[in-house]
Structure 1
Amino acid sequence: MTLDEWVKAACAKLDIAPSDAPVSLVLNLARDVAHNTVRPAAPVTAYLLGLAVGRGADPREAADALTALAASQAKSDSDEH
């Protein structure tokens, strides 16, 4: 199964329009978080993004804020060493 096939199947199961699933946005966020914090933070952050969007947050703005938070954490960690 490809990623696109999985997303379509998961969206169908959850009654979500595939157009409402910004796959590249979530993947980029997960990558940035995994590289700048600890790897397990990536799926948790993706879930938190989903919660925020479900509560009305703009997906791109929320993802940008989380990416900036992860980047600042990485900078903070490198400043300590």
Structure 2
Amino acid sequence: MSHVYEWRDGTVIPDPFTGLEIPDALHASLHRHRENLARLVRSLQSAGVSEEQIETSVTVVVESYRDELLRAIKTIMRQA
């Protein structure tokens, strides 16, 4: 059976987390994350941002975070 998730505004989408066992302690955080993503999608759509532009932006952000995270991990490892 396919599960769905309904946003506060009534938008219904397939739940991408179907089948995953999510600890109870994370449910509120996951809900906030979903709501934030829904707002982001609506904002991007209303601004006319294309999927290609979104993919490029996400790639830049993730690569930047990756570099920052690796620097932090390496620094901590050297200090340990």
TM-score surpassing 0.5?
no
Class of the TM-score when normalised by the shorter of the 2 chains: 0.3 to 0.5
- The structure with more helix, counted as a fraction of residues: 1
Q: Which has the higher contact order (CA 8 A, sep 6+)?
A: 1
- The structure with more strand, counted as a fraction of residues: 2
In the superposition, the TM-score normalised over structure 1's length comes to: 0.40
Compare CA radii of gyration and give the structure with the larger one: 2
In the superposition, the TM-score normalised over structure 2's length comes to: 0.40
